[in-house]
Structure 1
Amino acid sequence: MQFDYVIVGGGSGGAVLASRLSEDPSVSVCLIEAGGDGGGILVRAPAGIVAMLPGRPKINNYAYETVPQPGLDGRRGYQPRGKCLGGSSAINAMLYVRGHPSDFDDWAHMGCSGWSFEEVLPYFRRSEGNQRGDSRLHGGSGPLKVGEQQTPRGITEDFIRAGMECGYRRNDDFNGEDQEGVGYYQVTQFYEGPRNGERCSAAAAYLHPVMGRANLTVLLQTQARRLLLQDGRAVGVEVRRNGRIENIRARREVALCGGAFNTPQLLMLSGIGDPDELGRHGIPVQHALPGVGKNLQDHLDFIISCKSGHTDLFGLGIAGGIALTRAIMEWRKTGKGMIATPFAEGAGFIKSSPQLSRPDLQLHFVISMVDDHARKLHLGYGFSCHVCVLRPRSRGEVGLFDADPLSPPRIDPKYLSDEADAALLLRGTRLMREIMRAPSLRKYRLHELYTEGVEDDAALMQHIRSRADTIYHPVGTCRMGSDDMAVVDPRLRVKGISGLRVVDASVMPTLVGGNTNAPTIMIAERAAEWMRDGDAAADAAIINNHGKELTA
């Protein structure tokens, strides 16, 4: 089979790219996805995350693990990743957060010309169909539905009040003029029509509505094995499909959209990467690119959970079972109620010190007890709060265990390898705890699940090392830039290989100050424009804007 464009991975990047490129009826597009269609009830019902996230069994989820982490008492971390159309946007908490505007300005200052906030803002707006309508900072007519939460619990409003009691201002738009404060997250969820209350994954927004296009071919349950290279050019992808090995060829470009773990893995399996890593697994070097798999960054997250006597929460008990049955009926009828919840209803972007210019800590307030990614369940009811360091200094890597395309990638985030991250996470935990102990939340508390009575720094730090884990934002393993360790240039073209781009979170040079789904969709909107309209026009625009030519 031969197409103009071949896209590997149907997640947030790939779904956007396939949809936008196939808008041109004169080109043919093939999307390769290892999982299913991402349209089942567990994806559509937001509360279905509790069945998919734990990975037991693996439903729409790769359910990866890290190698043992010295900074986490030698534990293996858990890394859920979406395996279906929509990717991780099909199994996440639906939170719409772009990051702080200065994060993108930082990218531009690091040599990624064209990626300042004012330059990426039009692509955020293009993607966004915000319930609040058009404004300078928001789009009202884009395919990705961004709405207010359907039926937040009363405790979430009390969490916001508790934050205000601790001196934080209320913020009704974390993607607005100022990120700092406490409030409700907006969510990627349908807010009107027959799908009201359903998850709006990247696939539901961009891909499912256009699957009938004659020029778009979507191959499900199809495993990419390696890239096909010819004379320094990517000309296709070798896949396993229906038990057979096939070659899918690309006349124009191949785009890798597998995410921060699977994209570097596929590059390395194809002989593109660090020669030392490839040599350990007997993979012939096709193109030496030492930055592939390096620069892994992730948001390490610590949770404090509290038992509660209030049953208007998501929990295990007779009252909860009855309420859940009613909630399912309510959601199917109106799109509202407990089934419509993102669970992480309350938000906080706070500073560890008032002298800082931007928040360096993020809070997720959850209407249930959360323990080990919902893999450990507790009878009764409760609530949780998460804290993560927004711009960690620790850097990890992704490598290979072997040369088998069906093996998982070797994931080593090197959490807390920089002691500054540990100190800031401890500080963030104390600030989070102040909010959880504020008067407005006091009526809900019985006791903390693990940390009741733990007050001194050393003991609290030990709890962090024994229970902290990802909050699902890995980036950076094919970072863009103009230096020798960059994998792609600022237009996302793989250095030294023509006809090959990376369009996913792996290209981010640094983590943004927030969740990563919205920025990934923005990145794909930009890439689609370059691929559709040609790089020459994009180069000229950037040269005009910046007065200097980019490194190709």
Structure 2
Amino acid sequence: MSDAESAAWDYVIVGSGAGGGTLAARLVEAGMRVFLLEAGGDPRAAAERLPEDYDVPAFHAFACENAAMSWNFRVRHYADEGRQAKDWKYEAGQGVLYPRAAALGGCTSHNAMIFMLPHDADWNHVAQLTGDRSWRASRMRRYARRVEDCRHRPVWRALRHVGLDPTGHGWGGWLRTEKSIPLSVLGDEGLVRVLRDTASVFTSSLPTPLLSTLRWLRGGLGDPNTRRLRPGSFEGICYTPLATSEHRRAGVRERLLDVAARHPGRLQLELDALATRVLFDADGAACGVEYLKGKRLYRAHAAPSSAEGVRRDVRARREVILCGGAFNTPQLLMLSGIGPAAELEAHGIPLQKNLPGVGRNLQDRYEVAVTHRMREPWEVLEGARFDRDDTLWRHWHEERSGMYASNGAALGVVSRSATADRTGQEPDLFCMALLAGFEGYFPGFSKRVRDQPDQLTWAVLKAHTLNRAGTVRLRSADPRDTPLVNFHYFEEGDDQAGEDLRAVVQAIRFVRRMTAPLLAKGWIAEELAPGAAVQSDEALADYVRNTAWGHHASCSCPIGPPEKGGVLDSAFAVHGVPRLRVVDASAFPRIPGFFVAAAVYMIAEKAADAVLRTAMRTPLSAS
């Protein structure tokens, strides 16, 4: 009998990412014993380009394609093959690449490290849906403070000791946040010109330019996470705060290793362990997890193993908590007999609980690119090979300076689409200037970052989308197979009126207005995509349909009543299945904010409170 089978673990958690890793660490600090399953290994282990791909912020695209930790899902955006085939990133018979990470820390090991809080309306919607006032935005802010150790507002960090802090930031959390563009890169004339002209065009487009500028200064100098001094959410030009420590990636991996070191014996990090199904006792309550021990067992891996793996199981005295993300959590639930009865029957899986909402309601943001070729390569990227020991790496390694200390995002602009403005909804458009060529995910996409140092991409992101039609379905009953994922974009889904589509077209036109001075002066040589020939609303809409992608998959096991497709209650418990919870991006009923990581950190901290309250009410002998 293995240690996993014989040890007395209070909780078994599947997945070590923003949800599972955050939750596990907090439960261990509360005195619990936690067995944490992770299908990958340590992302800083000795392998090609590691640990540099993990550590260096500018290398995050290479981390996404690093075979030591990458899971390459292939997804569809449309069921219609003719429509899907118009996307140049689509591989017939395969799909569109959707990178995920199999590593300690989950997708926080390869993401772009952006830490932006969701909007108040995202939390208030959950409170209204469930009747649980603990989800109100005013109460959720404390979880952001519990996570964050803000290092990009030094004045307010100093003044907090004398009781002055209107920002709402966290100053003592476990996740350090810093600015994305170090001052050391502002010697690049081209970069300064992009920042200056963008700011000028944006400000002059406002109804009251001077007043709006003063409000922006008073509201935190482009800090999107500061508490507003007036009602409403942040709008305008901003920087993108990053989860880095002294301009080096820092996240869930570091949190878990720190907690394990401080509380020996309480946290078992079981790496290279692929969960295959939840185990149940005679009363139908979750009591453990079966898993396969071995490296690269899941077929999403860049180089999957042909080995079978060693079958093991681990038991939980209190609860089993699934945190595998929007693709893997619904897959694991269905493999365990929890999900749509007809689908489980089709795969010969015995029914444990009929929950039709499992694997439905899948959502993502729409993202498209407006890319340009500059007249000259970026000065800040001169000599960049995006490898160890080049000039920029040495500046980063020795001084934590230069462009490698950034994720490549020069600045962001938050605004509202015409629909959001008319209806008074939260800002739903985020446009981000990247000093690289990036038009979505396809095999080898990271090489473009390295090989084209004269590119400027405006990534256009549409949040608060209307589409709820995405699905995660079983490919087979084999837990090593990836699921079938289809997001059913735009008209194929719920956006029959085309509101999302029009919003993205509006954002492209907005970006073109901001870049027009740079084109007129010759600093931008040409617009590569959509390209100067693509001008009409219809042509731009086709460009969006044919090229849009996403990378924040969410909502496939949503909180909500089961009769409306809900899978979880407001405390993350699976409806009708005792001692089983889900705490990851799949739990949201609607995709929150612009970037999902901060929201997942927050719900993991909230879930820890819910789990510990249950533990206090339930004597161990009764569990």
Superposition TM-score, scaled by structure 2 size? 0.80
Q: 1:77 aligns with which of 69, 79, 96?
A: 96
Instruction: Tell me what 1:28 maps to.
Output: 33
Deviation for aligned residue 1:422: 1.6
Q: 1:429 aligns with which of 499, 508, 511?
A: 508
2:72 aligned with 1:60, yes or no?
no
Q: Is the 8 A contact 1:112 1:482 kept in 2?
A: no
Instruction: Tell me what 2:300 maps to.
Output: none
Deviations 1:142-161 (A, max 9, x none): 00111123526542633444
2:348 aligned with 1:271, yes or no?
no
Instruction: Tell me what 2:59 maps to.
Output: 48
Instruction: Tell me what 1:420 maps to.
Output: 499
Q: 1:86 aligns with which of 105, 109, 112?
A: 105
Deviation for aligned residue 1:119: 1.4
Identical-residue share of aligned pairs (%)? 30
The CA distance in 1 between the partners of 2:386 and 2:322, in whole Å, is 45
Q: 2:598 aligns with which of 507, 510, 518?
A: 518
Q: What are the equivalent positions in structure 2 for 1:157-176 lying under 5 Å apart?
A: 157-158=195-196, 159-167=198-206, 170=216, 172-176=222-226
Q: Is the 8 A contact 1:314 1:381 kept in 2?
A: no
Q: What are the equivalent positions in structure 2 for 1:350-389 lying under 5 Å apart?
A: 350-353=415-418, 354-355=421-422, 356-373=424-441, 374-375=445-446, 377=448, 379-389=452-462
Flag structure 2 segments of 5+ consecutive residues without an equivalent.
45-50, 207-211, 295-308, 619-623
Q: 1:218 aligns with which of 261, 269, 273?
A: 269
Q: What are the equivalent positions in structure 2 for 1:121-520 lying under 5 Å apart?
A: 121-131=141-151, 132=153, 133=157, 135=165, 137-151=168-182, 153-154=185-186, 155=191, 157-158=195-196, 159-167=198-206, 170=216, 172-176=222-226, 177=228, 178-190=233-245, 196-204=246-254, 206-212=255-261, 213-230=264-281, 231-242=283-294, 243-312=309-378, 319-321=383-385, 325-353=390-418, 354-355=421-422, 356-373=424-441, 374-375=445-446, 377=448, 379-395=452-468, 396-416=470-490, 417=493, 418=495, 419-438=498-517, 444-453=523-532, 454-470=534-550, 472-484=551-563, 485-520=565-600
| Residue identity opposite 1:182 in structure 2 | I
The CA distance in 1 between the partners of 2:25 and 2:616, in whole Å, is 22
The CA distance in 2 between the partners of 1:406 and 1:229, in whole Å, is 21
SS of aligned partner of 2:589: coil
- Per the alignment, do residues 462 and 227 of structure 1 end up closer, same or farther by CA in structure 2, a change over 3 Å counting? same
The CA distance in 1 between the partners of 2:351 and 2:478, in whole Å, is 16
The CA distance in 1 between the partners of 2:76 and 2:177, in whole Å, is 36
Deviation for aligned residue 1:442: 5.1
Deviation for aligned residue 1:322: 10
Deviation for aligned residue 1:12: 0.6
Deviations 1:439-490 (A, max 9, x none): 59955311011322221122222222222111x1111111112342211100
Which moves more between the two structures, 78-87 or 400-409?
78-87
The CA distance in 1 between the partners of 2:40 and 2:521, in whole Å, is 44
Q: Is the 8 A contact 2:115 2:177 kept in 1?
A: yes
Deviations 1:7-36 (A, max 9, x none): 1000011111111111134x3111000011
Q: Is the 8 A contact 2:560 2:570 kept in 1?
A: yes
Superposition TM-score, scaled by structure 1 size? 0.90
Instruction: Tell me what 1:193 maps to.
Output: none
Deviation for aligned residue 1:38: 2.8
The CA distance in 2 between the partners of 1:275 and 1:511, in whole Å, is 26
The CA distance in 1 between the partners of 2:61 and 2:613, in whole Å, is 41
Q: Is the 8 A contact 2:370 2:457 kept in 1?
A: yes
| Residue identity opposite 2:236 in structure 1 | G
Q: Is the 8 A contact 1:297 1:413 kept in 2?
A: yes
Deviations 1:354-413 (A, max 9, x none): 443431211121111113333562645111011122111112111111111111121111
- Per the alignment, do residues 466 and 440 of structure 1 end up closer, same or farther by CA in structure 2, a change over 3 Å counting? closer
Deviation for aligned residue 1:281: 1.4
Flag structure 1 segments of 5+ consecutive residues without an equivalent.
191-195, 539-552
- Per the alignment, do residues 427 and 519 of structure 1 end up closer, same or farther by CA in structure 2, a change over 3 Å counting? same
| Residue identity opposite 1:91 in structure 2 | H
Q: Is the 8 A contact 1:225 1:240 kept in 2?
A: yes
The CA distance in 2 between the partners of 1:313 and 1:202, in whole Å, is 33
Q: Is the 8 A contact 2:122 2:592 kept in 1?
A: yes
SS of aligned partner of 1:211: helix
| Number of aligned positions between the proteins | 526
SS of aligned partner of 2:552: coil
Q: Is the 8 A contact 2:518 2:524 kept in 1?
A: no
Instruction: Tell me what 2:305 maps to.
Output: none
Which moves more between the two structures, 455-464 or 437-446?
437-446
| Residue identity opposite 1:62 in structure 2 | W
Q: Is the 8 A contact 1:165 1:438 kept in 2?
A: no
| Residue identity opposite 2:413 in structure 1 | G
Q: Is the 8 A contact 2:284 2:578 kept in 1?
A: yes
Instruction: Tell me what 2:123 maps to.
Output: 104
Which moves more between the two structures, 411-420 or 68-77?
68-77
Q: Is the 8 A contact 2:409 2:435 kept in 1?
A: yes
Deviations 1:111-165 (A, max 9, x none): 2512110111111111110113354521100001111235265426334444334
Deviation for aligned residue 1:101: 1.3
- Per the alignment, do residues 314 and 420 of structure 1 end up closer, same or farther by CA in structure 2, a change over 3 Å counting? farther
Q: Is the 8 A contact 1:125 1:142 kept in 2?
A: yes
Instruction: Tell me what 1:542 maps to.
Output: none
The CA distance in 2 between the partners of 1:11 and 1:129, in whole Å, is 19
Larger Rg: 2
Which moves more between the two structures, 181-190 or 111-120?
111-120
The CA distance in 2 between the partners of 1:402 and 1:96, in whole Å, is 36
SS of aligned partner of 1:461: helix
Instruction: Tell me what 2:302 maps to.
Output: none
